[in-house]
């Protein structure tokens, strides 16, 4: 039986849709005043609602990197 992954944001119990490296997510979510649950895993899971927040927080950073390094 496969255990379903839940969102790694503190206080959220929705099923996880996307997974990312914990270090990559934590910085972006801190800007949105959200915290990750403490855990030993390298991966963190985001539900669809928190994934939208993550995308909004990293949009500017991705655009700058695209300008810097090209496509």
pLDDT in tens, 7-64: 999 999 999 999 999 988 888 888 888 888 887 888 999 999 999 999 998 898 888 8
SS (H, E, C) the chain: CCCCCECCECCCCCECCEEEEHHHHHHHHHHCCCCECCCCCCEEEECHHHHHHHHHHHHHHHHHHHHHHCC
CA 6, CA 13: separation in Å to the nearest integer? 6
pLDDT in tens, 26-41: 888 888 888 888 878 8
């Amino acid at each position: 039986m496969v255990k379903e992954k839940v969102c790694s944001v503190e206080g959220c119990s929705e099923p996880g849709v996307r997974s990312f490296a914990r270090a990559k997510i934590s910085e972006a979510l801190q800007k949105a005043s959200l915290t990750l649950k403490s855990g030993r895993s390298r991966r963190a899971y985001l539900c669809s609602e928190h994934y939208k927040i993550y995308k909004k927080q990293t949009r500017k950073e991705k655009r700058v990197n695209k300008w810097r390094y090209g496509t």
